[in-house]
């Protein structure tokens, strides 16, 4: 399917995808920094969100992120930080959920359009962990193609789609959200 067709299909099934996530039997903690916090609202806009979402945090200030992680990350908007956030989120889920629950921890970091010149790439990293493995994706956006609300919306949708996979919901890859010359990669790593 062409990217435009995939996006139209995604829009048509968005509420059904989120409802299926709510009904998946998973329980999740999300931690999002730098952009994409609209994913929380997307999940709660569809009835039944309390079955999936245990907690959602936005440790936006560097001090808040350090406090959440228990260490100061070398760089906030990095794959390593997203993975550490996902693992910490899963630890939080284990404290909040009943014994035997199917737990998901999600961490997302982003460096998006700002009111200051950004030297690096506009990007986001989203990681989920359900236990033994952490799966992550990285998106590098084309600078200047979208304004801040446009980049925020794309990252929020990418977070929801990546979370859907960890909930066992058949959802398209976040790659369908991108234009042809934007970059998308996936990685998986065993928990350390």
The predicted structure's pLDDT at residue 161? 97
Backbone angles phi, psi at 103, to 5 degrees: -95, 145
Residue 18 contacts residue 46 (beta carbons within 8 Å): yes
Residue 78: count other Cβ atoms within 10 Å of its Cβ: 16
Over residues 95-114, the mean pLDDT reads 94
For residue 10, is pLDDT > 90?
A: no
Q: What is the pLDDT of residues 54-99, one digit of tens each?
A: 999 999 999 999 999 999 999 999 999 999 999 999 999 999 999 8
Distance CA 118, CA 190 (A): 32
Distance CA 37, CA 33 (A): 7
Give the residue, 153 or 12, on which the prediction is more confident: 153
Over residues 14-25, the mean pLDDT reads 96
Distance CA 81, CA 147 (A): 25
Q: What's the predicted TM-score (pTM) here?
A: 0.92
Q: How confident is the model at residue 132 (pLDDT cuts 50, 70, 90)?
A: confident
The predicted structure's pLDDT at residue 2? 62
Q: How confident is the model at residue 7 (pLDDT cuts 50, 70, 90)?
A: low
């Amino acid at each position: 399917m062409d990217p435009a067709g995939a996006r139209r299909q995604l829009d048509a099934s968005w509420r059904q995808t989120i409802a299926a996530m709510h009904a998946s039997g998973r329980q999740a903690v999300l931690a999002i920094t730098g952009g994409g916090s609209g994913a929380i609202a997307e999940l709660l806009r569809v009835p039944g969100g309390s079955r999936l979402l245990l907690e959602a945090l936005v440790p936006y200030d560097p001090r808040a992120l350090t406090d959440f992680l228990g260490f100061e990350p070398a760089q906030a908007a990095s794959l390593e930080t997203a993975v550490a956030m996902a693992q910490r989120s899963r630890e939080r889920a284990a404290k909040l959920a009943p014994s035997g629950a199917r737990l998901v921890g999600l961490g997302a970091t982003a460096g998006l359009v700002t009111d200051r010149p950004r030297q690096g790439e506009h990007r986001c990293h989203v990681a989920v962990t359900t236990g033994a493995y952490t799966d992550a994706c990285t998106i590098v956006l084309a600078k200047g193609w979208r304004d801040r609300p446009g980049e925020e919306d794309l990252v929020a949708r990418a977070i929801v789609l990546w979370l859907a996979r960890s909930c066992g919901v058949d959802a398209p890859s976040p790659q369908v959200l991108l234009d042809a010359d934007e970059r998308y990669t996936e990685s998986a790593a065993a928990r350390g």
